[in-house]
Structure 1
């Protein structure tokens, strides 16, 4: 664009003008020429009895955009508008009809047009059509770029300069620009008044929709309450809540609107609340007004017989709280009546740590910008970890908003976030539904994983899968691309048949490789996914062990080695797991096992032993538990030294490991005490072989001394013979057996108490 400007400046002014002066004839930010640059051309057109059209554009509420997003974003918007205007005019206008585009400073843009009809009314009709086409095209392209959360729009004004022979061209031009600007402002006023009347009508007719989004425990997966959210009339400019409430505030209708929202939310929720909590959004400026303090909301709550303790006032900070002392006093009034307080959108806008420190809320709600992609952003993780620690120290619960993926959910659980809500859990609905069982299972399993230390043997592949939507074979490739774009962390999508059985897999990299080739987009985008899916992906049942799943994944061809693994339950699609997640899980399990294993023998220690016993008892399995220890080991250790004692302990560990089958479990309780879990039918054989191998091998240690080597005692508890409820009862029975078997001479074993 700058080259065009230099060319235009060179045409309008004599070549003798210095380059410094030329630089002063363009706007520093946008590079557009200033208005005087066009005087000669405009004057020439008018002298030739040709009409000129002037189009005026400025950005609606641009000062508020700057206030909210800062100068840098505003400058990016202005540069984009100038580039888009140039591109749009290039496409919509003939080259000889476009005189030029100017930036008057700030967000005011002027377009000079030629080629209008000689007759004024016809010229104005043509200009009206052209100006509106330019505006609509610019607005669409501008909002394709996500500069702000709000939709950006433009004011439009236009006027026609009729042919004249005046020599005071600058006076004519500026007068015409003022007229176009005034038309834009008048239009702005009319639009504002129209929208205010519309909002008044919405409030009078109570034409709003209340939807509810569940708030769930990230520990138990239970619904603890709902947040009431407002939507405007469908298809109207107020359908989006941000537009509805922002304009209500601008027109001093916020109190009336929020009062209506609270009343409708309470009445409707009373039908399904059933002792759960209801979160009501309240603006700071509303909660302090006399109308709120009069107790209108309290009256509705009392009439509906809802407990005050079940109501959460959610402070939505779109503006700063100017006086925390007064505001805190107001909140204390409501807290004393049993209401609970939440601070919304921590990490965005005015919601900050000062708000929490001053208001002492019971709930802190994280803005979705902190939650988005939390699983892959170490900075966000560190910040969120600090917020959670801080909140728990001040007895506040943390709520993660805007959860959209299982990866985000998993990381929030790991970081200790108390509650969650978002589209993954359930979108806002007119009437909430029951939670998806897969979601509840995942939350419960994840918490169990955090509270327990698993070994690779404890988990199957079904324990670590993630669930994403599946597509049908007739769905279009375009839908796959759109889903990948909306879910950047997703690298594969499963294709299922009518019975929900997987029949194919689409990996993002392979799809994009197809589309990136010549004619790839027109060839595939509007075709069914069946054409691009892998029809022979790796599909395994959920009960396969993690180790076996890893082996199968690694045995695939090189071109498929990083593809998703599809997991089924009774041949129905259950979920997927990436190779990366599989390897991470194996690594973590191995680390957990190493950290909780005996350093001398490498066998699982007490934590893993107790977990295995607990799991076994919970499942009522018929097993035999062998408690193995050495007799008079302390005396032996003191006499021959710790090194010799360690040799004997490692000997026992090696014997047990050598006798164990794949599904057996061996643990090292500590010192000379071991535990082995096997099938009951093998008890006699295993116990006798342990004793025989031990007595043979211990003699080969060649210990120099007169003290005999320790003998070995084995106490066997068969679970089928006892009503054992926990590992402590197992230990009690085993202790009684050990006491009896140790009284016998030499190495012996004893099965159950006679």
Structure 2
């Protein structure tokens, strides 16, 4: 396999150019404005994106049509009309996913016992102060428009690149990734492995954490993905354990190097016996498997004290520092 059809077809919404329509019943879908390129493809000029929208409305109920745009009469790329429509009406976000200036901000992760910085989680942000977006919305639109693999790759590159001049050798970088973007671990992860070489990063300093916003359908496949990272000398983490589909049972099945406990169990854990019971069980089960435990979302000193007393290894949250452009503005808090 030397190419990947799953990474998403990207193209730009030019202000003027040519609309291309592809269909096995092409004659049923074109008007007199179109010229036939062959038995399946026709094209027509447009001078504004309003004209593109008019065509979308006209073809609204077509199910066997693919569409694409080009600056010239040469066919570039076409995608199914429903995906095209989603991209058209979210074109500003889609354009940012494809071309926007991205950067990773860094949030410190603290060793709860030595109170030293253990690592940083890389969180996607925009370089352009005039552009604002919610990362959650960004990934949601990327998934709906078939661009989630592209966005995930771009985010991973920024997370690796930000180490230069910021994160010293030996300090971990925690990098989110979407398992749904990796279809063939041996092929799809080559992009990441090449970035590690490009930026001369020690693989042992990287921790790739599974962001489980969706149900884990194929645990066996996910384990292959995690094992592929491990084969390259990298570490893996299971994020948001205790929330949604990320359960304690997954620890036994996936054997990650780290487990991050969902912040809902950390918030006010000093005042809730049921949260204390879960945190204790999670820590004991993880340590029995040799997994390092991390409590995320710590905002109060009392929460840090509880997690430390239960034996949690690491902590993350606003108490220790907010995400920032550099590590210099990170804050470490010592428990009294």
Other-structure match for 1:296: 191
Residue 293 of structure 2, aligned match among 398, 405, 413: 398
Structure 1 residues 213-236: Cα deviation after superposition (integer angstroms, max 9, x where no partner): 011100111111111111356575
- TM-superposed deviation, 1:206: 3.0
Query: 1:218 maps to which residue?
Result: 112
Say which of 97, 111, 127 aligns to 1:203: 97
CA distance in structure 2 between the partners assigned to 1:411 and 1:292 by the alignment? 43
Q: Secondary structure of the equivalent of 2:96? A: helix
- What per-residue deviation string (whole Å, max 9, x for no partner) do you get for residues 581-633 of structure 1? xxxxxxxxxxxxxxxxxxxxxxxxxxxxxxxxxxxxxxxxxxxxxxxxxxxxx
CA distance in 1: counterparts of 2:93 and 2:150, whole angstroms: 10
Alpha-carbon distance in structure 2 between the residues aligned to 1:318 and 1:413: 28
Q: For residue 270 of structure 1, what is the aligned residue in structure 2?
A: 164
Give the Cα separation in 2 of the matches to 1:413 and 1:434: 24
Contact 2:108–2:121 (8 Å) recurs in 1: yes
Inter-partner Cα distance in structure 2 for 1:415 and 1:231: 34
Q: 1:416 to 1:292 in 2, by over 3 A?
A: farther
Conservation of the 8 A alpha-carbon contact between 1:364 and 1:398: yes
Which of the numbers 125, 135, 159 marks the counterpart of 1:231? Answer: 125
* Number of the residue aligned with 1:412: 307
Question: CA–CA distance in 2 between the matches of 1:266 and 1:373?
Answer: 33
The whole-number CA distance in structure 1 between the counterparts of 2:135 and 2:106 is: 14
Match of residue 305 from structure 1: 200
* Corresponding residue for residue 243 of structure 1: 137
Counterpart position of 1:384: 279
Q: Is the 8 A contact 2:98 2:151 kept in 1?
A: no
User: How far apart are 1:294 and its partner, in Å?
Assistant: 5.0
- TM-score, scaled to structure 2: 0.70
TM-score of the superposition, structure 1-length normalised? 0.32
Asked if structure 2 preserves the Cα contact closer than 8 Å seen for 1:288 and 1:327, the reply is: no
Q: Distance in 1 between matches of 2:87 and 2:181?
A: 23
- Whether the aligned pair in 2 keeps the contact of 1:206 and 1:260 (CA below 8 Å) is no
Match of 1:353? 248
Of 317, 328, 335, the residue aligned with 1:422 is 317
CA distance in 1, matches of 2:312, 2:331: 20
* Match of residue 280 from structure 1: 175
* Counterpart pick for 1:327 among 205, 222, 240: 222
Query: CA–CA distance in 2 between the matches of 1:410 and 1:227?
Result: 22
Q: How many residues align?
A: 254
What is the CA-CA distance between 1:421 and the residue it aligns to?
A: 0.7
Deviation at 1:205, TM superposition (A): 2.2
Structure 1 residue 269, shift from structure 2 partner: 1.7
- Indicate the structure whose relative CO is greater, using CA pairs within 8 Å and at least 6 residues apart: 2
